Structure 1
């Protein structure tokens, strides 16, 4: 109700934590001694609007571990309400690499600072999905994910490729465009060409050997 809440007691609680208290307001002051250690210095209320009955909680420096169900409880009125907090993080930072491989050009894409764990997709210049190897995922001490992926590509009309990182739960998508210069693609010899070249070199060697033996016999 729209009454002055400055003089009442109310609690913000995480039922799954011990101690469970996220923020406790009692008769005009914050009871920080009751607070769970992970929330120390990161919670506050809007004291200027307490008079209108607004006891909203503000969380600063949000962490993935803050995700969960919060209970707002007023003991004197025996009233409570629950809020489900969903945390997500999406990054715009990419590290890309281009390298020559035995079967084509190898593209590498890495992106960090994601939560929850995202997926990585590769697309060609026409928007078609490319077949890539398994995504490597590392979860850091801050609970944020770093993902990296590689794909081998051959020369195409546009030589433009897109690395897309997507987090489906909160519909977050980031992508970067990679353009490969024509001179990066080295000419690949087919197996038939390699065999023919080997036979030619072998025949040339034996022919030259025979000519050298004949020359030696005539000379000596």
Structure 2
């Protein structure tokens, strides 16, 4: 009041310049009208989907806000969430997504509370809100944040067969927002590692989760699946117990049968191999006997004995002829081999038998089959 009296008297008699008096008057008027500040919560307001939320806001010092303008808006001042002016709610210009979903708690007006209630919370409601209060020409505002969260369904635990020597257990849940935290816990509350975990967000922005764990016998037969919302600090949990008969076991009679089958097949294979070796040794002994007697007493020409010797050397060194044909089965086959032998131009470049040695590797002196040798003897007998 002293300042006001001084200002009024200054306008009449003070030699101060006019602009100084003007600023003093403006400062006094501002001090008279600066009656309150608008205060909101520092921490975000957490709201649950499909439920209602209250955005707190009040004046300090406490005073009645019944005759003030109260405006709640998001980013644009003109497009408001809720407006109270001239003692009543104003809906002309309200954001369409908040139509009939907002309410000012007028019961707290006398104490300076201008909180806003939002019904049927949606994902789109998440974000910042401005609480604006104006009294005549003076106004103040504060900004607060709303976070939306959703509690999903209780975890569904299912046993889906055997895997890696244990039992595959799957935990599923849906309807969470934001992305939840999923944990497996044993009977003592200790966290268990999961085999894999997948999370997906549907068209409604809600999260679905699926996590898998492999249980082994006598390890963690009692376990629970816990899904937690980090915003709400709330969780939902389901437990399961798997009895011993469900775990895979190795039957003793299956092990014994497997061992017997392995031994039996091994014995059969070895027996067949021995019989084949016996037949081959018998055939070699007969051929060697014939060849040795031919070298000692037969009047065959020298080149025929040469081929017999080559064949004998091949057998003695363990190299079987590639073909097992016999000249008694086909009389003309030795004759064709004989025709091939008669085409030899040089001993150093002996060709491979064209009829019976197509699969042989590089040409060699010992690459002639029994048909070649039989053809030489046959030729000698026919001409002798």
Which TM-score band applies after superposition, normalised by the shorter structure? 0.7 to 0.9
TM-score for both structures, normalised by structure 1: 0.77
Distance 2:250 2:85 in 1: 75
Distance 2:88 2:212 in 1: 55
Distance 1:95 1:150 in 2: 12
CA change 1:46–1:170 in 2 (3 A) is: closer
CA change 1:33–1:110 in 2 (3 A) is: farther
* Correspondence 1:150-169 to 2 at 5 A: 150-156=212-218, 159-169=221-231
Residue 200 of structure 2 is aligned to residue 138 of structure 1: yes
1:74-112 CA-partner distances (Å, limit 9, x unpaired): 244321112222332334522111121232211111122
SS of residue matched to 2:191: coil
State the number of aligned residues. 205
Match of 2:83 in 1: 24
CA change 1:33–1:200 in 2 (3 A) is: farther
Match of 2:322 in 1: none
1:122-153 CA-partner distances (Å, limit 9, x unpaired): 12334333221332212233332221111111
Match of 2:118 in 1: 59
Q: Which has the higher contact order (CA 8 A, sep 6+)?
A: 1
Considering fraction of residues, name the structure with more strand.
Answer: 1
Q: Contact conserved, 1:96 with 1:107, CA < 8 A, in 2? A: yes
Distance 1:11 1:144 in 2: 31
Instruction: Say which of 157, 172, 177 aligns to 2:234.
Output: 172
SS of residue matched to 1:135: strand
Query: For the aligned residues, what is the CA RMSD?
Result: 3.0
Match of 2:247 in 1: 185
Distance 1:145 1:18 in 2: 34
Match of 2:108 in 1: 49
Distance 1:84 1:188 in 2: 60
Alpha-carbon shift at residue 73 of structure 1 (Å): 0.5
TM-score for both structures, normalised by structure 2: 0.47
Match of 1:102 in 2: 163
Alpha-carbon shift at residue 188 of structure 1 (Å): 4.9
Distance 1:188 1:117 in 2: 42
Structure 2's unaligned 5+ residue stretches are 1-58, 272-384
Bigger Cα Rg: 2
Structure 1's unaligned 5+ residue stretches are 211-220
